[in-house]
A and B are shown apart, each in its own frame.
Chain A
């Protein structure tokens, strides 16, 4: 279980302090939690704070009751936190096999890597020796990013907008990967997403806007409100 207590994150902006996250308190214990809300609302910042990439200005993070606020990225990874980047990183020379092996933290046979890659819909034979570079498409890189998280199999897996930067066609099959993951993987999955189909399979939805938790609830509680209150563009309504 992950507990965030009064998390605040400020950055300096033209000599003023700008609050990106404002006193966020949240308990995440369900199996499949979706975080949604407008762009720029602080979702990715929150994910990076959980993974240890960003240090909060104030507040406390507890994982299964243990205070991990002062732990660095590596120590949090070892404590069981995984983080799939919104924009996968390229590596010159490192192959899919290399990264999956690093993620698993132990030597992997080709058939073990094959199992992991097929989970995310990639044929291992074509991919094991491919370099993680721009010769792979956005959808392929996303799948490999997700495969690294499944190879780790930690108690908390964070996915930052897995749908970002991939075409609708690829996304449809990616949804099935997450549906399968929800059914088969133990531990908590925290997924930042704007996609209704992702929100639809979540046990709990957290809405973050303007650096604050706007709503927390089941999809039955949150989704209708979310879909109805989508802000309409004023210029457009004026024109109409």
Chain B
């Protein structure tokens, strides 16, 4: 691993070195390293680019890291990763993509992640996206996450895109069986002329299942963000989505939530708020001795924390 790749790895996976436990590191379209454990197997796909991650039933307190690094300008790839989580397993999965583009060509990573959670499986899924570069090449990422939750399964998903991605279309789809629950928290900050779109669609099919989607974003400069969410309540279930955006400068934010209840006992809520930083928040922090710019930074950092 060279220095650039090490830095990307730290940004997307919080890792300084090769992680413990199971991992698969992909750099510039090649397998850079892989480790499997007694309970977690990682197998390369033969029909297309990507891997299968197979976690045995009952596996607990284990983690899988699958970072993707792109440091070769102009590299474009589409990767399929499938996760099979056995019954009763409880694991943490850290994925992420870091792009360093120092050329003039567009670098692009499209990752399609499909999760199959068996009964009562639990997954904490963390995904980070980061881009940097000193050239004029664009960094594009289009992550797709598809989750299938069987009875009693639980998945918590945390996605963060703070810096350097010029264009992203993030698609998340899910279906939930009885007693399953899905929590998604996304944090996005865009600046310059960046574009970010969130497209969320979930079918809540089982009784006593629930979905909670929380999106917080900051749009600066001339960036553009779009938030679409569709929640279909097909059973006695609970669905909640919340989209909260701070708009600055000449940015543009669209929030378009859609709720459909197909069952009398479906309880669905959406909250959306778009606005600039409240003047009184700035004033409060300025009375504590911060300049207006420092106050703004504190408010944004807190908001996206």
Q: Shortest Cβ distance from B140 into chain A, in angstroms?
A: 29
Q: Shortest Cβ distance from A145 into chain B, in angstroms?
A: 9
A102 to B299, Cβ gap below 8 A? no
> Complex Cα distance A78/B287, Å?
9
Residues of B within 8 A of A11 (CB): none
Residues of A within 8 A of B264 (CB): none
Residues of B within 8 A of A105 (CB): 288-289
B288 to A102, Cβ gap below 8 A? yes
Contact with B along A70-98 (1 / 0, CB 8 A): 00111001100111010001011111001
Interface size class of A (residues with CB under 8 A): 20 to 34
Which of B287, B290, B298, B304 lies in contact with A82, CB distance below 8 A?
B287
Closest chain A residue to B287 by CB distance? Answer: A83
Residues of B within 8 A of A82 (CB): 287-288
> Complex Cα distance A105/B288, Å?
8
Q: Shortest Cβ distance from A93 into chain B, in angstroms?
A: 3
> Complex Cα distance A92/B271, Å?
15
With A53-B283, A102-B285 already in contact, the answer to whether A74 and B299 are too (CB < 8 A) is: no
B303 to A73, Cβ gap below 8 A? no
A103 to B288, Cβ gap below 8 A? yes
Q: Shortest Cβ distance from A89 into chain B, in angstroms?
A: 4
Residues of A within 8 A of B193 (CB): none
With A73-B283, A77-B286, A85-B284 already in contact, the answer to whether A94 and B302 are too (CB < 8 A) is: yes
Residue B3 is within 8 A (CB to CB) of chain A in the complex: no
Residues of B within 8 A of A73 (CB): 283, 286-287
A89 to B298, Cβ gap below 8 A? no
Closest chain A residue to B283 by CB distance? Answer: A53
> Complex Cα distance A103/B290, Å?
9
A interface SS class: mixed
A74 to B302, Cβ gap below 8 A? no
A94 to B283, Cβ gap below 8 A? no
Residues of A within 8 A of B17 (CB): none
User: Which positions 172-209 of chain A face chain B at CB distance < 8 Å?
Assistant: none
B305 to A93, Cβ gap below 8 A? yes
Residue A113 is within 8 A (CB to CB) of chain B in the complex: no
Interface size class of B (residues with CB under 8 A): 20 to 34
User: Which positions 258-291 of chain B face chain A at CB distance < 8 Å?
Assistant: 278, 280-281, 283-291
Residue A55 is within 8 A (CB to CB) of chain B in the complex: no
Which of B244, B280, B287 lies in contact with A92, CB distance below 8 A?
B244
With A74-B291, A102-B298 already in contact, the answer to whether A93 and B286 are too (CB < 8 A) is: no
Residues of A within 8 A of B278 (CB): 89
Residue B292 is within 8 A (CB to CB) of chain A in the complex: yes
Residues of A within 8 A of B301 (CB): 93
Residues of B within 8 A of A94 (CB): 298-299, 302
Closest chain B residue to A98 by CB distance? Answer: B302
B288 to A93, Cβ gap below 8 A? no
A74 to B289, Cβ gap below 8 A? yes
Residue A219 is within 8 A (CB to CB) of chain B in the complex: no
Residues of A within 8 A of B291 (CB): 74
Contact with B along A42-75 (1 / 0, CB 8 A): 0000000001010000000000000000001110
B302 to A148, Cβ gap below 8 A? no
Q: Shortest Cβ distance from B275 into chain A, in angstroms?
A: 11
Residue A5 is within 8 A (CB to CB) of chain B in the complex: no
With A53-B283, A98-B298, A102-B298 already in contact, the answer to whether A92 and B288 are too (CB < 8 A) is: no
Residues of A within 8 A of B286 (CB): 72-74, 77
Closest chain A residue to B281 by CB distance? Answer: A89
With A89-B280, A91-B302 already in contact, the answer to whether A148 and B288 are too (CB < 8 A) is: yes
Q: Shortest Cβ distance from B291 into chain A, in angstroms?
A: 5
A77 to B302, Cβ gap below 8 A? no
Closest chain B residue to A84 by CB distance? Answer: B287
Q: Shortest Cβ distance from B73 into chain A, in angstroms?
A: 36
B280 to A77, Cβ gap below 8 A? no
Chain B residues engaging chain A, CB cutoff 8 angstroms: 216, 244, 278, 280-281, 283-292, 298-299, 301-305
Chain A residues engaging chain B, CB cutoff 8 angstroms: 51, 53, 72-74, 77-78, 81-83, 85, 89, 91-95, 98-99, 102-103, 105, 148, 152
